Structure formats: structure tokens, C-alpha cells
Amino acid sequence: MKKEINIIFFGAPGAGKGTQAKKISSKLNLPHIDTGNLIREAIINKTELGQRAQSFVESGKLVTDQLVIDLIREKLIVLKDRHYKGFILDGYPRTIPQANALGSLFGELNLELTNVINIQAPEDMLVKRLSSRRICTNKNCGAIYNLITKKPMTENKCDLCGSNLYQRKDDTEEAAHERLNEYNNKTAPLEKYYREKDKLTDIDGTKDPNNVYNEILRLVDSHK
Ligand code: AMP
């Protein structure tokens, strides 16, 4: 029987974990569970969760632990019921209580954590990447651009589908700084947490995204 692959993509905002998680999940055909995206969808759909999360997200703060703990619990229980091969968690856990809750959930569902991929980049690069990020408004496309390193061919238009691009409210320079503060205070301690469990692998996120992708793919393949 093939081994299940349960991976966490970890790193500061702007390190490239979303881009890489999306590519790896489509390559390996594994569900990509991205808490940031799930919360943004809930905000657009004005669900109770969305309404409770909105002001936190837009100012660059983390939402309260219980909100995301419940969200992930629901997702993983549903996944475990289906033909199960594993998953890619992107943006969760982000605090020690979230990591503890995930550990208990893994125990309850009889899952084993394969690896935590820690994508690293220096802070000045992170702020630059976040504040120059633009995203395609077409939900089915969602292509990501960068006004410095990956400019669209026509200003403010997606190269792939021609839709307009937008900037996330929490990608402004001010909100980006707040997100990095939150990361340093609440999320960075998880590095030690998973390193001590011998589950963390560092990846240099300053390299070209294709090189980063190939490195992650090699690592994931080694776990199969
Ligand atoms: P992201 O798209 O991963 O940058 O997440 C965007 C925002 O969603 C974050 O700045 C938080 O406000 C919220 N968020 C996403 N994941 C979490 C989490 N695990 N814990 C708390 N807040 C989260």
C-alpha cells in the first residue's frame, strides 16, 4: 500500500508557501487546504466565520485560534472519510495552540505528519514581495503576479485569462508589516516545535520559484 503524504507548508507571509503548495498539490493530486483562502472565501460569502474574521484579516492580524482549529477539524474529518491519500496544509498551524490541536486531531484520525516544509526568506524580501503582489480577479484562474519579478504583459491584466488584477487588502505595506509582526511573535516559535520533533526541513525561498519547486518535489518524493 502507498504511504499517505500529510505535509505542512510553513513560512512567513511572502516566503512563497502558497505558490509552492498549489503547484505541489496539483502535481501530486493531493487536496490543498489553504486557511487564508478558506477565510477569504468565508468573508466574501459573509458567513458567520467570515464576519468574525474580516477585521483581523484586513489589518494583518491572525484570527482567533478556535476559529481556525474548528475549520481545519471539519475539513480533515471530511477528507478522511473519502478515498484518502493525504493533504497539503498551507497556512496552518500558525500558533502553538493550533499545532497542539492538530497533533490531537492527527491522533484521533490516526494520521501521521510526514514533514513540515519551512520556506525561508529575509524580511526585506518578504515585504517587497507582498506589497508588489497582484492576483487575478477570476476565481477559476487566480494567477499570481509580482510587479517587480513577474509583471503581467499588459498593465493590470492577467496574461492567462485577460481578467483584471487586484491587490489583497492585507498586502499593502502597512498590513504586510503587521503580518510579519504576527509571524515573528506567534508563528515563528513553531519552527523550534517541529524541529524538536524532527519533522522540519528548511528550504531556501530566495531562489528562483522553479528551483524551489524542484527541491520540494525531490524532498516529497523521498517520503513516498
Ligand atoms: P494567508 O493567505 O495565508 O496570508 O492568510 C491571510 C490571513 O488569514 C492571515 O493574515 C490571517 O488573518 C488569516 N489566517 C490564515 N490562516 C490562519 C491561521 N492558521 N491562524 C490564524 N489566522 C489565519
Instruction: Reply yes or no on whether 23 is catalytic.
Output: no
- Closest ligand 1 atom to 182 CA: 10
Note whether residue 77 is domain-resident. Answer: yes
- Please calculate the CA angle 150-122-134 and round it to the nearest 5 degrees: 30
Cα(78)–Cα(161) distance, integer angstroms: 32
Cell of 47: 458567513
pLDDT of residue 222: 87
**Dihedral over Cα of 195, 79, 143, 43: its sign:** negative
Domain range enclosing 202 = 5-122+191-221
Q: How far is the CA of 57 from the centre of ligand 1 (A)?
A: 7
Q: How confident is the model at residue 2 (pLDDT cuts 50, 70, 90)?
A: low
Instruction: Reply yes or no on whether 94 is catalytic.
Output: yes
Note whether residue 52 is domain-resident. Answer: yes
Note whether residue 151 is domain-resident. Answer: no
DSSP, collapsed to helix, strand or coil, labels residue 122 as: coil
pLDDT of residue 83: 72
- Region of residue 167 (phi > 0: left; psi between -120 and 50: alpha; otherwise: beta): beta
| Residue 79 near residue 71 (C-beta atoms within 8 A) | no
| Residue 2 near residue 85 (C-beta atoms within 8 A) | yes
Output DSSP code: residue 63. Answer: P
Note whether residue 85 is domain-resident. Answer: yes
- Closest ligand 1 atom to 93 CA: 19
How many C-beta atoms surround the C-beta of residue 83 within 10 A? 5
Burial class (CB in 10 A: 0-12, 13-18, 19+), 155: exposed
Cα(20)–Cα(26) distance, integer angstroms: 10
Note whether residue 182 is domain-resident. Answer: no
Read off the pLDDT of residues 137-183 as tens digits, 9 standing for 90 and up. Answer: 998 998 889 998 899 999 999 999 999 999 999 999 999 999 999 99
Instruction: Reply yes or no on whether 179 is catalytic.
Output: yes
Does 219 score more than 60 pLDDT? Answer: yes
Instruction: Reply yes or no on whether 168 is catalytic.
Output: yes
For the Cβ of 114 lying below 6 angstroms from any atom of ligand 1, the answer is no
Q: How far is the CA of 91 from the centre of ligand 1 (A)?
A: 6
- Region of residue 126 (phi > 0: left; psi between -120 and 50: alpha; otherwise: beta): alpha
What spatial distance separates the first Cα and last Cα of the chain, rounded to whole Å? 11
Nearest-CA residue for ligand 1 atom 19 is: 92
pLDDT of residue 3: 80
Which tops the pLDDT comparison, 222 or 51? Answer: 51
For the Cβ of 35 lying below 6 angstroms from any atom of ligand 1, the answer is yes
Note whether residue 136 is domain-resident. Answer: no
For residue 114, the domain's CATH number is 3.40.50.300
Q: How far is CA 189 from the centre of its chain?
A: 17
What's the order of all strands across the beta sheet hosting 200-204? 32-34, 86-90, 5-11, 115-120, 200-204
Instruction: Reply yes or no on whether 17 is catalytic.
Output: yes
Note whether residue 181 is domain-resident. Answer: no
Nearest-CA residue for ligand 1 atom 15 is: 36
Read off the pLDDT of residues 85-137 as tens digits, 9 standing for 90 and up. Answer: 899 999 999 999 999 999 999 999 999 999 999 999 999 999 999 999 999 99
DSSP, collapsed to helix, strand or coil, labels residue 198 as: coil
Read off the pLDDT of residues 16-45 as tens digits, 9 standing for 90 and up. Answer: 999 999 999 999 999 999 999 999 999 999
Pairing of strands 133-136, 165-166: antiparallel
| Residue 60 near residue 177 (C-beta atoms within 8 A) | yes
- Closest ligand 1 atom to 40 CA: 8
Tell me how many domains the chain contains: 1
Q: Which residues contact 174 (CB under 8 A, 6 or more apart)?
A: 60
For the Cβ of 13 lying below 6 angstroms from any atom of ligand 1, the answer is yes
Cα(14)–Cα(205) distance, integer angstroms: 9
